[in-house]
Amino acid sequence: MAGIGLRRRSVEVAVPRLDGDQQRVVEHPGGPLLVLAGPGTGKTTTLVEAVVARLQSGRTPLVLTFSRRAAADLRERITARLGRSTATPTAMTFHSFCHAMLRRFGAAAGETGGDLRLLTAPEQEFRVRETLAGLADRDPELTGWPNEVRAAYPTRAFAAEVRQVLARARQLGLDPEDLVAAAEQSGRPEWAAVGGFMEEYLEVLDFEQVLDYSELVHRCRILLTDPEVLATLRREFDGLYVDEYQDTDPSQVDLLADLVGPGGDIVAVGDPDQSIYGFRGAEARGILDFPDRFRTADGAPAPVVALGTTRRFGPRIADATRHLAERLPLARSLPAPVRERFRQPVAAGSAPGGRVDVLTFESTGAEAEHIADLLRQAHLNEGIGWAEMAVLVRSGRRNLPPLVRALSAAGVPVEVAGDEIALSAEPAVRPLLLALQVALRPGAPDADEAARLLVSPLGGLDSLGLRRLGRRLRESERLELGGAMPESSAELCRLALGDPGRFDDCERALGPTTELERARELALLLAAARTRIESGGTAEEVLWLLWSGTRWPARLRADSFAGGDPARRADRDLDAVCALFDIAARSEELIGVRGVESFMAEVEAQQIPADTNRESDVGGRGVRLLTAHRAKGLQWRLVVVASVQEGGWPDLRVRGSLLQADRLGRLGGGVGLSEGLSLSERLAEERRLFYVACTRARQRLYVTAVEGTEGEGDQPSRFLSELRVPVQPITGRPRRPLTLAALVGELRRVAVDPEQPTSLRDAAAVRLAWLADASDESGGPLVPAADPARWWGMRDTSRADAPVVPADEPVQLSGSALGSLLSCPREWFLSRRAQGESGRHSAATAGEVLHLLVDHAARHEVSTEELVEHLDEVWQQLDFDAHYLSAVERVEAEAMVQRYAAWESAQQRELLGTEVGFRLQVEVDGAPVLLTGSVDRLERIADGRLHVVDFKTGRSEPDRREVPSHEQLGVYQLAAQQGAFDRLTGGERRVSGAELVYLRLQERGDLLYPKVFVQASLDDQPHLEGDDPDQPTWVHDRISRAARMIRTEDFQARVGKSCRYCSFVSSCPAQGAQVVE
């Protein structure tokens, strides 16, 4: 029988037409050559053609580049042009080459080459932290470290700085003793301490058979000192091509010099304007020093060629980005024609015309929505594929998550590389780490941990299911206690996760539910994990038990095969979980509690989103979201450079300011304390990064920012003006997003609008019916929102399964809640019961501080100067959106301190207590109501009667006509009347009145005195006009109304002064903004 073989199908590859500059590079006869290649000038094509020409002439060049993706692309293109494969890899990364050299020659040099594993940057930082901790255990006094760094020693930031010094030392070819010598010469004792630490760190690497990247290059250079190794390599590779030369660090440059020798064949291709990896040790001036470092055989500087024709984009994008490049430094040593050719490339006739838009928005939310809208418009109206578009940002951790959420919500398919986000921050990893953390401890988790686990994929509940579970447990507990008050739902859920038998008790008392079953499964799983840890299981075993013991893997597997957005999310989650198991597998020698703790510490320590093992998980099916650093070497038809804010881009913060690794540099013939990066050099690096981002676009470039009014964080970057493109301010949100949900909303609006023609309304109804009947590939509804059965308002108003307050419990109210409820029941319910209010603003934060200071002043009789000092101490710990807001509030806060001091010094009343809490049950309409609160200041006047003071720090003052019926003061007076403060008053219950002291507002005619509003005594004026005279006081009447609203759950919206500050006005029925009629 004839043999059967496989033969690769030949592919016709067109030979590219090269311009004159490219042809000069291809025909370069030998020796060193520097090629300056700007964006889109055909750098890769030129490199491929030059290598192919060498291979076809029987020579064996080696190509070195900086990423696995770039190396693979070069190999594929070279192989395609040749029509055959080569005997040895023609293109490799620097680190792949060095690793191959260690595997091949390391054994002869005493290295264990083949067994060495490379550490990722996060893993290296973890090793540094562990080694530092080990040193501290043996020497708690840290005698080898200077005093000024000892306080920072245990922190992650310090470990990161130590790692940077280690990397920089190896990039400069320094051994530990060299680093100590450099420290002594420079007067930097902390470097000497790092030098001592370096010896132990290298021993740890050798013991674990691992290497970091800088150490890998350093050891490869050591191998090249062997004449036989060097001669072997020079015989095998008779020419060296280096891609992206501007990204080389000093050790890599030295490696290249070692390989080629004086006058050797080396062609370096790069762009000084795209040198953006200074944080990895690359030096922007390195590429410009190439002609002097790599001289020809006769000692002349290496020749320089500039590629002067751009094919990526047309004149509009070229002009805008050229304005950026012109602000970047370029060595005057370059020949003038080369500089001009490099900086002013001409657009090829085939290049697209292009478009550049600079847009500003009112908020980050509006920015994200408009970005989603323009991406959808480009896809739907212009036919640009999702994968042909990208959104680039400066910071992955800060900028990517909100954009991912906004674009996904708008129906834009997005893809984010796995290594853009630290592994511990991955949504799929967080619940597993939390479960491990809980399993490590005996007993029950805390309430927050319990809630997060229950609503995670491990627990399988949603927020509604969590509430149902809590109510079920409370009802069971109430039955067991014979009607007594049970613990809160959160507390019972927490206790039950630590004691699964509680779920069994609840099921026996009230019957089974899905929520009980899933919660019990989670509790048993946590108990099993704890048992496995205590019996000496490895981190991998415990992790597998948690992962495989739930329905989560099956759900992810089903989603992965389903296609569409669910499949993309499932694939990303699975990749992250696999990466977590990879780390666990490498920790298999650590067992039991200590082993799991070490594993978790390693994962949590990985604050650097840079694990290249996850860099290939992008499938090319959606819009790419990535950082500008990751976009290097890529291009798309449409690019959005987003969130270009001053303070964020450029980011001019000084990093590594304690150990100052960036100042460890070459000086003359040695190494010592260099100047480090100046402010202008840091700005230049940020400008180069922005230039790289903008030059990724082939046809359409959008640059976006937020221009708000709340402080410096909302100011567009200076880089926007440097593009010299008119800025277009965009107000509001997109009128109607191009999504099916928005289309349904527009059709519904038209269908019910009586102002529209009948024919148009009928047409809208017909289209809604068509959308409601449409099915997707699986037979399910394509547009569920078009089905009237799903519309809000088509069903009767529902009521909660459980009342707001159980019938057998008293209504509980505070003084402020009483006022809020009567002012607007809807706002009270949404903010206080549903917890729907947004975060506190800066004025509220300052108010809390002032209340604490006022209380401290009253208790300890401190002076105004001491209060201001305390204010300064506390203020540093407060978090404001911008420095501007902090400064404004700080001035206001000091003025409030001064007004308090003026008010307090004028008082003649006796102080009985401050921040006096109370709980008082009163009977109203035959039912108990529990009043709670805390009085800022309780005083006694000369005749013995009580007086209540409440401090306010808000900007809005009440109408004086409203003060007599101010509910909060009324509740405080009622509490005093009913004996809530008897322990302080000696049984005195008569009241003289109450007052509001507005510390932020000045009394008319007296800048240093606060505004004061006085409420009459409840003894003297128990009733007000319009209140129920059958109630004991007007306060009882107000409490009666509020309790009735809560019992009947009648939370209507009311228009009033508080509407100006309401968080829910956008959906308020009283404002005409309700969702349904």
How far apart CA 412 and CA 792 sit, in angstroms, is 25
In terms of phi and psi (left: phi > 0; alpha: psi -120 to 50; beta: otherwise), the region of 415 is beta
**Overall residue count recorded for the chain in this entry:** 1077
Neighbours of 1004 (CB within 10 A): 8
Rounded mean pLDDT, 1064-1070: 76
How far apart CA 319 and CA 722 sit, in angstroms, is 11
- Considering the domain architecture, whether residues 498 and 476 belong to the same structural domain is answered as yes
Tokens of 894: 């000091």
Specify the pLDDT at position 329: 85
Rounded mean pLDDT, 719-744: 86
- Considering the domain architecture, whether residues 302 and 275 belong to the same structural domain is answered as yes
Q: What is the pLDDT of residues 489-509, one digit of tens each?
A: 888 999 999 999 999 999 988
Point out the least confidently predicted range of 383-392, 396-405, 496-505: 396-405
- Band of residue 6 on the pLDDT scale cut at 50, 70, 90: very low
262, 297 in Cβ contact below 8 A? yes
Structural domain contains residue 854:
no
User: Hey, what's the torsion of the CAs at 470, 473, 475, 478, to 10 degrees?
Assistant: -120
Range of the domain at 193: 121-203
Specify the pLDDT at position 980: 95
Q: Is 173 annotated as a binding residue?
A: no
Specify the pLDDT at position 615: 46
| Alpha helix stretches (DSSP H) within 563-655 | 564-586, 592-605
Percent of the chain with pLDDT over 90: 40
Q: Is 43 annotated as a binding residue?
A: yes
**More confident call, 25 vs 653:** 25
Final residue of a domain: which of 170, 203, 236?
A: 203
Amino acid at 565: D
**More confident call, 671 vs 118:** 118
Concatenating the DSSP letter of every residue in 812-855 gives: EEEHHHHHHHHH-HHHHIIIIIS-------HHHHHHHHHHHHHH
How far apart CA 29 and CA 238 sit, in angstroms, is 12
- Considering the domain architecture, whether residues 703 and 554 belong to the same structural domain is answered as no
Rounded mean pLDDT, 787-799: 68
Q: Which residues contact 252 (CB under 8 A, 6 or more apart)?
A: 94, 217
Structural domain contains residue 855:
no
1019, pLDDT greater than 90: yes
Instruction: Give me the chain's average pLDDT, please.
Output: 85
- Considering the domain architecture, whether residues 472 and 517 belong to the same structural domain is answered as yes
User: Hey, what's the torsion of the CAs at 148, 153, 155, 158, to 10 degrees?
Assistant: 70
CATH value at residue 915: 3.90.320
Specify the pLDDT at position 851: 86
Q: Which residues pair with 636 in a beta bridge?
A: 697
Rounded mean pLDDT, 821-844: 74
Q: Is 754 annotated as a binding residue?
A: no
Structural domain contains residue 806:
no
- Band of residue 207 on the pLDDT scale cut at 50, 70, 90: confident
929, pLDDT greater than 60: yes
Helix (H) or strand (E) holding 699: strand 697-706
Structural domain contains residue 1073:
no
711, pLDDT greater than 60: no
How far apart CA 506 and CA 510 sit, in angstroms, is 6
- Considering the domain architecture, whether residues 470 and 594 belong to the same structural domain is answered as yes
- Band of residue 85 on the pLDDT scale cut at 50, 70, 90: low
Specify the pLDDT at position 1037: 95
388, 620 in Cβ contact below 8 A? no
CATH value at residue 229: 3.40.50.300
856, 862 in Cβ contact below 8 A? yes
How far does Cα 1019 stand from its chain's mean position?
57
Q: Is 93 annotated as a binding residue?
A: no
216, pLDDT greater than 90: yes
767, pLDDT greater than 50: yes
Percent of the chain with pLDDT over 70: 89
**More confident call, 528 vs 795:** 528
Point out the least confidently predicted range of 119-123, 928-932, 1053-1057: 119-123
Note if the pTM is more than 0.75. no
* CA 148 to each of CA 277, 528, 577, 658, 739: distance values in angstroms, whole numbers, following the listed order: 29, 47, 41, 9, 57
Specify the pLDDT at position 8: 44
Specify the pLDDT at position 882: 66
- Determine if the peptide bond prior to 1010 is cis (ω within 30°): no
Specify the pLDDT at position 676: 72
291, 33 in Cβ contact below 8 A? no
How far apart CA 56 and CA 45 sit, in angstroms, is 16
- Considering the domain architecture, whether residues 407 and 432 belong to the same structural domain is answered as no
Number of domains the chain is built from? 6
β pairing state of 946-952 and 927-940: antiparallel
- Band of residue 808 on the pLDDT scale cut at 50, 70, 90: confident
Rounded mean pLDDT, 770-788: 80
- Considering the domain architecture, whether residues 585 and 721 belong to the same structural domain is answered as no
b/e per residue, 1064-1074, with b = 16+ CB within 10 A? beeebeeeeee
- Considering the domain architecture, whether residues 768 and 909 belong to the same structural domain is answered as no
Structural domain contains residue 868:
no
692, pLDDT greater than 90: yes
4, pLDDT greater than 50: no
Specify the pLDDT at position 1068: 81
- Considering the domain architecture, whether residues 298 and 364 belong to the same structural domain is answered as no
86, pLDDT greater than 70: no
728, pLDDT greater than 90: yes
Concatenating the DSSP letter of every residue in 237-268 gives: ---EEESSGGG--HHHHHHHHHHH-TT--EEE
DSSP 8-state symbol, 780: S
Nearest to residue 1054, comparing CAs of 820, 838, 835? 820
- Considering the domain architecture, whether residues 577 and 510 belong to the same structural domain is answered as yes
Structural domain contains residue 568:
yes
In the numeric block, the tokens 């650093």 are attached to 629
610, pLDDT greater than 60: no
Specify the pLDDT at position 672: 72
304, 34 in Cβ contact below 8 A? yes
Specify the pLDDT at position 523: 94
Point out the least confidently predicted range of 371-380, 554-563, 853-862, 1047-1056: 554-563
- Band of residue 303 on the pLDDT scale cut at 50, 70, 90: very high
Specify the pLDDT at position 114: 54
Specify the pLDDT at position 690: 97
Q: Which residues contact 862 (CB under 8 A, 6 or more apart)?
A: 856, 870
Point out the least confidently predicted range of 242-251, 329-338, 519-528: 329-338
Point out the least confidently predicted range of 192-201, 477-486, 514-523, 813-822: 477-486
Q: Is 44 annotated as a binding residue?
A: yes
Rounded mean pLDDT, 101-119: 73
Point out the least confidently predicted range of 294-308, 342-356, 925-939: 342-356
Structural domain contains residue 860:
no
How far apart CA 680 and CA 677 sit, in angstroms, is 8
- Considering the domain architecture, whether residues 607 and 640 belong to the same structural domain is answered as no
**More confident call, 399 vs 424:** 399
* CA 722 to each of CA 103, 272, 631, 726, 892: distance values in angstroms, whole numbers, following the listed order: 49, 19, 21, 10, 37
How far apart CA 628 and CA 620 sit, in angstroms, is 18
* CA 1072 to each of CA 128, 345, 741: distance values in angstroms, whole numbers, following the listed order: 60, 58, 22
712, pLDDT greater than 60: no
- Band of residue 3 on the pLDDT scale cut at 50, 70, 90: very low
Specify the pLDDT at position 93: 92
Rounded mean pLDDT, 79-108: 82
Q: Is 40 annotated as a binding residue?
A: yes
Specify the pLDDT at position 1018: 96
> Is the Cα dihedral 891, 894, 899, 902 positive or negative?
negative
* CA 448 to each of CA 304, 429, 445: distance values in angstroms, whole numbers, following the listed order: 63, 18, 8
698, 313 in Cβ contact below 8 A? yes
Structural domain contains residue 222:
yes
Rounded mean pLDDT, 1003-1007: 77
- Considering the domain architecture, whether residues 109 and 125 belong to the same structural domain is answered as no
**More confident call, 794 vs 462:** 462
Rounded mean pLDDT, 572-580: 83
Q: Strand, coil or helix: what is 711?
A: coil
612, pLDDT greater than 60: no
Q: Is 41 annotated as a binding residue?
A: yes
